[in-house]
Chains A and B, each alone.
Chain A
């Protein structure tokens, strides 16, 4: 920038960046490398083997955990995305002041996750939960569900996906112009037709990107399922946690291999998001010309 490349200048710059590089090395790079190395070792941390990956990808206990996690994440990301898109679009129709308030409220609720969320859901939907009792009393027992079942867990996951989804999808919704809706309706298109033919296709990159972030969000979630202690859900993060620091004797190598598998799944999901963001941005910039 300044054009001066005296060696003293270079040394100063390097010294200023050094703490960051050291921190990155100590708490991201080195632990990551150790995890990778460990995932290729025998139990006890010796030798070289692909055995941990073979076990992780073939043993029914672990393939089950991967399958459950992927399924739960797909379902909660999809339902969460749909709910978030509807909510976020409704937000945009209010006055700037109201919609900003709604958005901050929703953003704030992204903090209601993990252990507090599990607790809140137990009071609402537990065996003696407020809504469980209310539904029973109103004769709507079919609405009640077992919180400690997969269905119950799916609801909890959908809950924490919605505010994150709103946060992510909200900016891209401004690409939809009210004028388009009016033009479409003048040409005889109904609301459903407008969204199917114009709205959703325009938003598609944003929707796919948000979906992949939500998917990753659910894949890595650990605290909520862990805090609903009464049931042991066979999920990938729970399995990893148990193998690494469980009460039973730890099996760090297998835990490492599963953690690498989880990391790769998340990296792919977030890579898709990056691509989609780029696509969405390109679409927007074409549009403004």
Chain B
């Protein structure tokens, strides 16, 4: 579909601009005021702050507790993404090409996390892992275990779409005809080709894990304090630090999304049924 804006009457164009602007402003407003709050000196009973300063950011990045929380969040997010890719990319590849009868089942399984809000998932995990023989509750391992499931739909979908878009079956056949072993073909041919999709999935998963609160709070809480749990504890104590934490978190999300956009634009988006080729410039 080509948007035929020129054909629209002026009244309709103004209406659509107004609707889009109103919704986007509404969506951005809480973030903007959080930013404003983080750089305000005093903001008690006036509409706008009485003065501005970056003091809260200096304090935040001087706060050891915050830096540790940030480090833990990075650690748990990177390890989740690493385990997820290491296990899921080969799994999706093997199922798609060599065990197609499992495909339908896998598609259904990866959707289960959508019906499983954190609070429900936490119930069984707490029950299973807070007593011996697997007492890993309160450690990073239970978080990684649970987050792997949480990001499953995104990693699966992205990998599956990429495999389809690059026509993995044909690539494998071609590589094998040329004498490559299956392993070599997978590593040297398939992996580089599906990399953009895999990176997008990693970045999305990273931002999801970074923003997750419920499991982090219920499964490990204070014994492995991540950024979101730090934020929750700070909320009632120090509003400035909390707002600076939120803005920092969102700056990270912004960077991750910028990467996703860049990668998404460079190659034809995975999943769109289009022929890959250099000449495809829209």
Contact = CB atoms under 8 A, between A and B. Distances in A.
A32 B116 CA distance: 10
Contact of A114 (B24, B26, B128, B228): B228
A120 B31 contact: yes
Interface in A207-233: 213, 216, 219-223, 226-227, 229
Interface stretch (A54-62, A260-268, A279-287): A260-268
Given A93-B3, A177-B1, A223-B213, A162 B123 contact: no
A245 B126 contact: yes
A93 B148 contact: no
Contacts of A19: 87, 91
Contact of B122 (A106, A111, A120, A245): A245
Interface string B35-63: 00100000011111000000000000000
Given A108-B257, A137-B47, A241-B218, A162 B23 contact: yes
Interface in B1-15: 1, 3-5, 7-8, 12-13, 15
Interface in B139-184: 145-146, 148-149, 169
B109 interface: yes
A7 interface: no
B95 interface: yes
Interface stretch (B66-74, B188-196, B241-249, B273-281): B241-249
A110 B248 CA distance: 16
B237 interface: no
A16 B123 contact: no
Contacts of A116: 34, 211, 231, 246, 249-250
A245 B23 CA distance: 37
A240 B121 CA distance: 11
Contact of B117 (A83, A106, A262): A262
A22 B249 CA distance: 33
B199 to A, nearest CB: 16
A108 B115 contact: no
Contacts of B250: 111-112, 116
B211 A111 contact: yes
Nearest to B93: A16
Contacts of A94: 3, 5, 16, 20
A226 B123 CA distance: 17
B45 A133 contact: yes
Contact of A109 (B27, B34, B116): B27
Contacts of B47: 130, 133-134, 137
B33 to A, nearest CB: 5
B121 to A, nearest CB: 7
Interface residues of A, number: 89
A108 B30 contact: no
Contacts of B253: 108, 111
A24 interface: yes
Contacts of B7: 178, 182
A92 interface: yes
Given A104-B261, A259-B119, A32 B114 contact: no
Determine chain B's interface SS by DSSP, over half rule: helix
A226 to B, nearest CB: 8
A91 interface: yes
Contacts, number: 242
Given A114-B228, A130-B47, A270-B111, A91 B20 contact: yes
A16 B34 contact: no
B19 interface: yes
A216 to B, nearest CB: 7
A150 interface: no
A31 B20 contact: no
Contacts of B282: 96
A70 interface: no
Contact of A111 (B112, B115, B207, B232): B207
B94 interface: yes
B91 to A, nearest CB: 4
Contact of A86 (B19, B119, B145): B19
A17 B92 CA distance: 9
A137 B148 CA distance: 49
Contacts of B116: 28, 220, 263, 266
Contact of A263 (B115, B126, B228, B235): B115
Contact of A20 (B5, B45, B87, B207): B87
A34 interface: yes
Given A89-B16, A262-B117, 12 more contacts: A1-B98, A28-B149, A94-B16, A115-B231, A115-B232, A119-B243, A120-B33, A128-B45, A130-B33, A163-B27, A220-B118, A259-B123
30 contacts: A17-B91, A23-B149, A26-B145, A87-B19, A87-B20, A87-B24, A89-B16, A94-B5, A96-B3, A104-B257, A106-B24, A108-B257, A109-B31, A113-B211, A117-B30, A119-B34, A119-B243, A124-B30, A130-B33, A133-B46, A162-B26, A166-B23, A216-B114, A220-B118, A220-B120, A227-B232, A237-B117, A244-B119, A262-B120, A270-B114
